[in-house]
Amino acid sequence: MDPEFWRARWQEGKIAFHEGKPNVLLAQFASRLDGKRRVLVPLCGKSDDLAYLASLGHEVVGIELVEDAVRAFFSEHALSPTVEGTRYTAAGITLFARNVFDVTREDTGPIDAIYDRAALVALPPETRIQYIAHLRAIAGHATGLLVAIEYPQELLPGPPFSVPDAEVRMHFAQVEQLAEQKLESGRAAELGTAVERMYAVSL
């Protein structure tokens, strides 16, 4: 998607993807990240999952295009970040207010795990391949957790896009499905057939 699309959505407050609490599937399966020190959260928005992961003892590295979202995360959690250019840090959480494709392994430092919720599914098909290759360039063959949704794509334009189970298995070196449930919120949920899946993955 054009960066302007996302800037406009944040500016207009059209952020239905923002859950306002830790993701239920993450809370259920967070122990899968035990022992992983530094967790990368691409396309993180101002997700409460960032604070939740930090509360479990992880160092959290998030990447978010829209700087207002990054600032909102820290102010809504009553944190005063240290700011160096587009890098904001407080309480074990570092957020880069940048395009994910402009962030390198040198910027993030070593990454032990990834957590992707509403990130892969926010990207159109052609960009998803590039995105996974880029995560691999940053995080090597790190393991992690992925929340993806699937629905008949022809019924609705994304984002969020449908990323079917078969596509998930194409992107990642290893995939284990941990849970599947009916999607309960957002436009795709109104179709009545959309599902949400939690996977343990390796890049």
Ligand X SMILES: C[S@@+](CC[C@H](N)C(=O)[O-])C[C@H]1O[C@@H](n2cnc3c(N)ncnc32)[C@H](O)[C@@H]1O
Binding residues for ligand X, how many (CB under 6 A)? 19
Which range of residues in 44-52, 71-79, 169-177, 190-198 is near ligand X by CB under 6 A?
44-52
DSSP code for 93? E
Which range of residues in 37-45, 72-80, 170-178, 179-187 is near ligand X by CB under 6 A?
37-45
**93-96/87-90 β-pairing:** antiparallel
Which range of residues in 28-36, 78-86, 97-105, 188-196 is near ligand X by CB under 6 A?
97-105
**Element of type H or E holding 135:** helix 125-139
The one among 39, 63, 95, 111 contacting ligand X by CB under 6 A: 63
CB of 183 to ligand X, least distance (A): 14
Q: Which residues pair with 18 in a beta bridge?
A: none
Q: How far apart are CA 141 and CA 59, in angstroms?
A: 18
CB-closest chain residue to ligand X: 45
Q: Is 93 exposed, middle or buried (0-12, 13-18, 19+ CB in 10 A)?
A: buried
Residue type, 75: S
Residues in contact with ligand X by the rule CB under 6 A? 6, 17-18, 43-45, 47, 63-66, 69, 99-101, 117-119, 122
